[in-house]
Structure 1
Amino acid sequence: MKFTTSSAAVTAAAALLPGASATIYYAGVAQSGGEFGVWSADATPGTGLPGTFGVEYQFIDEAGVDTMVDQNKVNLHRVAFLLERMCPPADGLGAKFNETHFDFFKQSIDYITTTKGAYAILDPHNYMRYNDPSSQPYSGSIIGNSSDPTAATTAQFGEFWGELAARFADNEKVIFGLMNEPHDMPSSLLLDNLQAAVDAIRAAGANNLIIAPGNSWTGGHAWTQGGDEASSKWLHKLVDPANNTAIDIHEYLDQDFSGSHTACTQDAATNLADVTAWLKEHNLKAFITEFGGSNTTECLDMLDSMVDYMADNEEYIGWTAWAAGPFWGPNSPCCTDSNQYGSLEPGSTAGDGTPGLYDTVWLPVLQKKVPAQLQWDGPASVEGGELTEKA
């Protein structure tokens, strides 16, 4: 049975309900695995492409999604994939897809959205680069770089998104995440690429929610840094005729914001203050689609405070923690210092056989911060929708 409450009523009552959120409509995990299988120690282009589905890479584990939706009551999964598998380099980036690969991807998205009734973010995990993922996040040509003859063009990026959007336009629970963590490129070019994607998506007849990243790894702490290249100077210029675009932010808690260290030393509330003020100034909403930490006491406390910060600031409407996925095994998706703590995948175990991050981070901290009421029906929107309690 579902208990329904209007968004306005929930907002008014939020202060009276422990653990309730007036602003978070979507909450869940990032599913990492669709980008696996291409790493090369000597940066050999073409390594692992196209790869064997279910062997080198896989988008989700359906049993894990079942647990997250049915038991953990999350309504959002961010699903990573590689542009080079969807659009093989031999054909180039654009509207021509590897249909076998697309079918595998669509099966995963349909399972999340149609079978389980949750929402899914499509995540091209490419750092605004294309043609060589062998040493991501640095390999490959920057999309739109006209001085690089091997680079895909801004127009091709638009063509890709127009095709992908057309294929999911009739699924209101699909959210288009335009690109994972652009970095080290002109912010003007980033804006051009994002605008081409938005234009193509809307021209395809898709009114789905879009989330757009900034430069500098879309880090919230860095949003106003970098002078004229700062994301704060550019991202508000993005035009969406459907007025259904939010900002995509990542924020880790370790010393260099990379998520690669066990210790958490960066306070999210302090480091997100500037981007939150920028969102408010431009009347924009945001998702934090990557954040995470190890199971140290400091990390658990900081993660607890970070999710509270999002719930307390109306600019944030959704989050996905990094990361679950079928192929992590004992390895950790973040904050490891080469240690094996496991992942957020249900049933995950650490390298020494002890419980993984699902049991030591998700359940004791993040699970308690999943709002009791989330949006389970209707189109994903920057305005959110009717909040319901999942049976």
Structure 2
Amino acid sequence: MKSCLFLSSILSSASATIYYAGVAESGGEFGVWSADATPGTGLPGTFGVEYQFIDEAGVDVHVDQNHLNLFRIAFLLERMCPLGTGLGSTFDETHFDHFKQAVDYVTITKGAYAILDPHNYMRYNDPSSQPYSGSVIGNASDSTAATTEQFGEFWGELAGRFADNEKVIFGLMNEPHDMPSSLVLENNQAAIDAIRATGAENLIIMPGNSWTGGHAWTEGSDPNSAIMHKFNDPLNNTAIDIHEYLDVDYSGSHSECVSDPATNLAALTEWLKTYQLKAFITEFGGHNNTGCDDMLTDMINYMAENDEYIGWTAWAAGPFWGTNSPCCTDSAQLGSLEPGSTAAGGNPGLYETVWLKVLQPLVPSQLQWSGKASVEGGELVAFPA
């Protein structure tokens, strides 16, 4: 029996495969601030001025030159579902058209996959001071909160609009936190039910509580590990959405990488294995120093060596970062992972010093370029000629 288990372990390791690899496109959540104590100043904002989803030229570089097949595209619920009508199935159609144009460019024009990312921390009605402002969705004690049913209605509407695009992946919510884990699961389930009710077969990725942090998955008095496996997807096409930064407090705000990914993801990986679940890590990043170079390499290799992980997006690209940095620099202006991005003063930015130097060589030479996104993955091929 031990020899059989050993052989099974070898085969499992040998079959470990990353099917999807790319970057998180940040910018659709930009341009909202608080002024004169007025929640939501900057809503809806002007597309192309306060916020933007992608830059097509940047996506071109990441696909055509870097051979990435996955982009996570952030947006705000309050722009898609205006405050005047509330969270649900009534959309701002002009805003939706801008968003769909970005998704279609990634998936139809470039042939890559796109994760739809409501960047709201499981909150709605005031994104002016994210990640803490706004009412927790489904909080029955807050009369201003959107309901779990409304969250389901929103996802039913959005899913129905993309159900015929097999390269669209539904990321249910960015980083729920400071709420009961049972409520995260309840909201996730309402979204899954609504999505499947439309007939959409698309891959879903669902978050946990506690910022969906991999290191914290089994920790605390209300851990994700006790409950998040209890979701039900009749198509068995739902994966777990994980974020994992490498600095001291896992926030992605510090320049020193000290949190070893293999150590901090071990318990999560065992949980995934126990419940036969797959995962994406859709946010991680590091500074342009030797310690982070090593840990970022370890992170990518860890995912590649454990078949519980099928995809990843590094944080972050996007057209509106300029010389500002999305993570991991102690507020130094070192640019982003957007092609052409530079640091303050015109020096090489994180695109050159982290993406091209560290992450690009670790992008698998073969990825899935056709067919439905799935927890099972698909045919692996080199970048289409």
TM-score with structure 2 setting the length: 0.95
Match of residue 247 from structure 2: 254
Q: Match for 1:202 among 192, 196, 202? A: 196
1:151 partnered with 2:139: no
Distance across 2 between alignment mates of 1:314 and 1:281: 13
CA positional deviation for 1:40: 2.8
Match of residue 31 from structure 2: 37
Structure 1: which amino acid aligns with 2:328?
A: C
Runs of 4 or more consecutive aligned structure 1 residues displaced over 4 Å after TM superposition: none
1:245 partnered with 2:254: no
- After TM superposition, list the pairs within 5 Å mapping 1:243-282 onto structure 2: 243-282=236-275
Distance across 2 between alignment mates of 1:235 and 1:314: 19
In structure 2, relative to structure 1, the CA distance for the partners of 1:374 and 1:266 (3 Å cut) is same
TM-score with structure 1 setting the length: 0.94
In structure 2, relative to structure 1, the CA distance for the partners of 1:43 and 1:254 (3 Å cut) is farther
**Partner-residue secondary structure (3-state), 2:248:** coil
Q: Match for 2:169 among 175, 183, 197? A: 175
1:243-272 deviation line (CA, Å, top 9, x unaligned): 000000000000100000111111011000
CA positional deviation for 1:37: 0.2
1:103 partnered with 2:111: no
Q: Match for 1:304 among 288, 297, 304? A: 297
1:341 partnered with 2:334: yes
Structure 1: which amino acid aligns with 2:85?
A: D
Match of residue 331 from structure 1: 324
Equivalent residues, number: 374
Q: Match for 1:137 among 126, 131, 156? A: 131
Match of residue 80 from structure 1: 74
- Greater relative CO, 1 or 2 (CA 8 Å, sep 6+): 1
User: Mean alpha-carbon deviation: is it higher for 36-45 or for 369-378?
Assistant: 36-45
CA contact (8 A) 1:178 1:213 kept: yes
Distance across 2 between alignment mates of 1:341 and 1:308: 25
Unpaired segments ≥5 residues, structure 2: 1-9
Distance across 2 between alignment mates of 1:42 and 1:346: 37
Structure 2: which amino acid aligns with 1:290?
A: E
CA positional deviation for 1:32: 0.1
CA positional deviation for 1:171: 0.1
**RMSD (Å), alpha carbons:** 1.3
- After TM superposition, list the pairs within 5 Å mapping 1:13-32 onto structure 2: 22-32=16-26
**Partner-residue secondary structure (3-state), 1:45:** strand
Distance across 2 between alignment mates of 1:161 and 1:331: 32
CA positional deviation for 1:22: 4.1
**Partner-residue secondary structure (3-state), 2:346:** coil
CA positional deviation for 1:336: 2.0
1:57-92 deviation line (CA, Å, top 9, x unaligned): 000000000000000000000000000000001110
CA contact (8 A) 2:16 2:306 kept: no
CA contact (8 A) 1:293 1:303 kept: yes
Match of residue 18 from structure 1: none
1:190-225 deviation line (CA, Å, top 9, x unaligned): 111000000000001101000000000000000001
CA contact (8 A) 1:39 1:136 kept: no
Unpaired segments ≥5 residues, structure 1: 1-10, 16-20
Match of residue 7 from structure 1: none
Match of residue 156 from structure 2: 162
Q: Match for 1:91 among 85, 88, 105? A: 85
In structure 2, relative to structure 1, the CA distance for the partners of 1:384 and 1:147 (3 Å cut) is same
CA contact (8 A) 1:269 1:306 kept: yes
State the identity as a percent.
78
CA positional deviation for 1:42: 6.5
Distance across 2 between alignment mates of 1:342 and 1:352: 11
